[in-house]
């Protein structure tokens, strides 16, 4: 019997808490190859189902199957594997450097490497990403020097941003990587605005907006979708659903919509869900969306279904809010292992070559780290000059800042 007159407050709860047995049985995983590949000018109303399914290419046997397969050559896939392995190795070293006190803060990508590494290869030079802190693969896959990233992480004398940013908040116009803002969801309105400007000036460049599951609760996300929808902005709207927003599970920000992709439907934006741990699927879907944007067909919303296997950041301890073995139970596996198995299945890779590549990559990362440390770390060696704090913002420095600089004696 319903409780007449008595209201109850509803707070969604994750399936399991620490001490419990991880359970992802509520996450339906469609068969690889089963999702259709619509034409890029598809009427969004006819593909609404795709916001509730998952596009997958790699099956359990490591084969690439279905209509989204077949876009990448052996060489491109081997390069993709190398990018993901490099990001993983870079992360491990920088996480350790944080524990050694060489930097104040670090954020890892563990388990999410395919999303940013594969996405980058679907864009062209001059396109602009508006990333969050968990897309360093966009830089790695575009050949941005690891030493430069490390210099910033260490806030040393060679830090390209001269100590003005958080350690991992990179910025590179040349590599299509807009300065990261710590204020989440701002990336969405900025990306849509940039894309609108590109269309207004009849340019050919497109934008990519990035957001995590939790941050979609921000108003900026929704405002951006209105503008993207109305003006058919040439933008790819990426939502990385890694199941967690620090200690908050994805069910809180998702609300009642069923999936994050489904948010696009109310705006008439084609919305696709993709296996975020499948390099081939991420790349194929991103290519589809990029082509739509470039042909004036408007925005595409993509939800990457993945899992944050590591801690939120170096300041977080996930054992306080989820079972320790939860990542092992994640049904979409590990992106590096899955691409490795696919390349072995294609006959162009082996366990031995993988182990050798791992060792070589680690050597390269360590060499970059040594070079960066020669320019200083957080508490040792060279630092950006205090004077830099006052430079680079105003063409002509306002009097109050000039006075402060004089007071500081720089």
Ligand X SMILES: Cc1ncc(C[n+]2csc(CCOP(=O)(O)OP(=O)(O)O)c2C)c(N)n1
Residues that bind ligand X (CB under 6 A): 134, 182-184, 212-215, 218, 240, 242, 244-246, 308, 312
List beta partners, residue 172.
177
Q: Considering only 178-186, 210-218, 294-302, 382-390, which stretch makes contact with Mg ion by CB under 5 A?
A: 210-218
Q: Of 112, 142, 213, 326, which lies in the binding site for Mg ion, with binding defined by CB under 5 A?
A: 213
Asked if 237 contacts 224 with a C-beta cutoff of 8 angstroms, the reply is yes
**Residue 246 binds: one of Mg ion, ligand X, none (C-beta under 5 to 8 A by kind):** ligand X
Angle at 193 between CA 252 and CA 275, to 5 degrees: 45
Q: Does 114 bind Mg ion (CB under 5 A)?
A: no
Q: How far is the CB of 252 from ligand X (least distance, A)?
A: 10
Give the DSSP per-residue string, 293-354: HHTT---EEEEEE----S-SSTT--GGGTS-TTHHHH-TT--HHHHHHHHHHHTTS--HHHH
Q: Which residue, 16 or 246, is less far from ligand X as judged by CB?
A: 246
Q: Does 184 bind Mg ion (CB under 5 A)?
A: no
Q: Which residue, 213 or 368, is less far from ligand X as judged by CB?
A: 213
Neighbour count for residue 183 (Cβ, 10 Å):
10
Within 13 Å, how many C-alpha atoms sit on residue 396's CB side?
A: 1
Q: Which residue, 181 or 345, is less far from ligand X as judged by CB?
A: 181
Q: How far is the CB of 297 from ligand X (least distance, A)?
A: 28
Q: Please give the sequence-ordered ranges of beta strands (E in DSSP) within 30-175, or none if there are none.
A: 128-130
**Residue 190 binds: one of ligand X, Mg ion, none (C-beta under 5 to 8 A by kind):** none
Asked if 77 contacts 343 with a C-beta cutoff of 8 angstroms, the reply is yes
DSSP state of 92: H
List beta partners, residue 305.
241, 275
Q: How far is the CB of 10 from ligand X (least distance, A)?
A: 21
Q: How far is the CB of 313 from ligand X (least distance, A)?
A: 8
Q: Which residue, 198 or 326, is less far from ligand X as judged by CB?
A: 326
Q: Which residue, 240 or 274, is less far from ligand X as judged by CB?
A: 240
Q: Which residue, 149 or 240, is less far from ligand X as judged by CB?
A: 240
**Residue 134 binds: one of ligand X, Mg ion, none (C-beta under 5 to 8 A by kind):** ligand X
**Residue 147 binds: one of ligand X, Mg ion, none (C-beta under 5 to 8 A by kind):** none
Q: How far is the CB of 94 from Mg ion (least distance, A)?
A: 20
For residues 227-246, which are near Mg ion according to CB under 5 A? 242, 245
Q: Does 276 bind Mg ion (CB under 5 A)?
A: no
Q: How far is the CB of 313 from Mg ion (least distance, A)?
A: 12
Separation of alpha carbons 352 and 135, rounded Å: 29
- Which residue number is nearest to ligand X in terms of Cβ? 212
Q: How far is the CB of 188 from ligand X (least distance, A)?
A: 11
Asked if 131 contacts 178 with a C-beta cutoff of 8 angstroms, the reply is yes
Within 13 Å, how many C-alpha atoms sit on residue 381's CB side?
A: 18
Dihedral over alpha carbons 127, 340, 132, 254 (to 10 degrees): 110
Cα-trace Rg, the chain = 22
Q: How far is the CB of 209 from ligand X (least distance, A)?
A: 13
Of 284, 294, 256, 245, the closest CA to residue 126 belongs to 294
DSSP state of 173: T
Q: Which residue, 129 or 241, is less far from Mg ion as judged by CB?
A: 241
Q: Which residue, 176 or 214, is less far from ligand X as judged by CB?
A: 214
Separation of alpha carbons 53 and 34, rounded Å: 10
Contact residues toward Mg ion (CB under 5 A) are 212-214, 242, 245
């Amino acid at each position: 019997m319903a409780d007449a007159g008595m209201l109850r407050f509803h707070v969604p709860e994750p399936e399991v808490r620490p001490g419990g047995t991880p359970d992802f049985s509520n996450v339906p995983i469609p068969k690889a190859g089963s999702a259709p590949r619509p034409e890029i000018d598809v009427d969004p109303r006819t593909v609404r189902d795709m916001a509730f399914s998952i596009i997958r290419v790699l099956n359990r046997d490591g084969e690439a199957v279905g209509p989204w397969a077949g876009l990448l050559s052996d060489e491109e896939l081997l390069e993709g594997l190398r990018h993901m392995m490099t990001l993983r190795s870079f992360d491990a070293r920088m996480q350790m450097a944080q524990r050694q006190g060489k930097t104040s803060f670090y954020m890892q990508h563990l388990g999410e490497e395919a999303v940013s590494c594969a996405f980058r290869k679907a864009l062209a030079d001059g396109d602009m990403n508006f990333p969050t802190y968990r897309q360093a693969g966009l830089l790695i896959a575009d050949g941005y020097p690891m030493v430069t990233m490390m210099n910033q992480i260490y806030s040393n004398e060679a830090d390209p941003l001269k100590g003005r940013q958080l350690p991992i908040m990179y910025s590179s116009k040349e590599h299509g990587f807009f300065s990261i803002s710590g204020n989440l969801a701002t990336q969405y309105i900025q990306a849509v605005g940039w894309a609108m400007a590109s269309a207004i000036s009849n340019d050919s460049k497109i934008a990519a907006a990035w957001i995590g599951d939790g941050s979609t609760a921000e108003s900026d996300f929704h405002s951006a979708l209105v503008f993207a929808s109305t003006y058919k902005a040439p933008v790819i709207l990426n939502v990385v659903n890694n199941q967690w927003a620090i200690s908050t599970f994805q069910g809180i920000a998702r609300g009642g919509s069923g999936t994050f992709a489904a948010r696009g439907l109310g705006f008439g934006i084609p919305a696709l869900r993709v296996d975020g741990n499948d390099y081939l699927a991420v790349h194929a879907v991103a290519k589809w969306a990029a082509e739509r944007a470039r042909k004036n067909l408007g925005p595409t919303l993509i939800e990457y279904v993945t899992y944050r296997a590591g801690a939120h950041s170096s300041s977080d301890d996930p054992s306080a809010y989820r079972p320790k073995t939860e990542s092992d139970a994640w049904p979409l596996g590990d992106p590096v292992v899955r691409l490795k198995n696919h390349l072995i299945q294609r006959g162009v890779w082996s366990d031995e070559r993988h182990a050798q590549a791992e060792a070589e990559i680690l050597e390269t990362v360590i060499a970059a780290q040594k070079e960066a440390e020669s320019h200083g770390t957080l508490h040792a060696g060279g630092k950006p000059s205090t004077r830099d704090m006052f430079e680079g913002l105003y063409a002509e420095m306002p009097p109050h800042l000039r006075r402060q600089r004089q007071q500081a004696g720089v």
